[in-house]
Amino acid sequence: MATLPILHHPDPRLRKKTALVGRFDAELQRLIDDMFETMYAAPGVGLAANQVGVQLRLAVMDCSEEHDQPMVMVNPELLDHQERQEMEEGCLSVPDTRDKVTRFNRVRLRALDRNGQPYELEAEGLMAQCIQHEIDHLNGKLYIDYLSSLKRERIRRQLRKAAT
């Protein structure tokens, strides 16, 4: 396994909608393993493939405190959502920033697992938030897109300053 470099905003690859995964081969399995290693090392609770420069509809997550509940979402789609709630959020691609965004507290997800087997899942709280965050990534959207233009510009300035 390998730790992959995580792309940071404003890298344009983060803004591209990802392509459906069609092959469940050894290369995909290696990418999934590398993404988990990268996510845990960061540390984070979720990571989308386009955050490591791979334009596939693939994300990994582990919202458990013990990091013992890894979850793979291939070609995910939200089937239902309920209860809007303001939640604090951050992102590995927008380092050292956090802000409040409105998400759904409960969601129902359909996806494929790492072997291409379909599953459905109902989630709430942090897991629901993470699912929405990662699916946004796969659609080329960042959590900062939910913020006011003033807050987004402040974050852009912080990131430019940190990069110099």
CA distance 120 to 110: 4
- Per the annotation, the verdict on 124 as an active-site residue is no
CA distance 103 to 132: 8
Where are the alpha helices (H) located in the chain, listed in sequence order?
Answer: 26-41, 126-138, 149-163
Tell which phi-psi region holds residue 19, choosing left (phi > 0), alpha (psi between -120 and 50) or beta.
beta
User: Is 58 within 8 Å of 21 (Cβ atoms)?
Assistant: yes
CA distance 81 to 96: 29
Catalytic residue among 27, 65, 77, 134: 134
Which of the residues are catalytic? 134
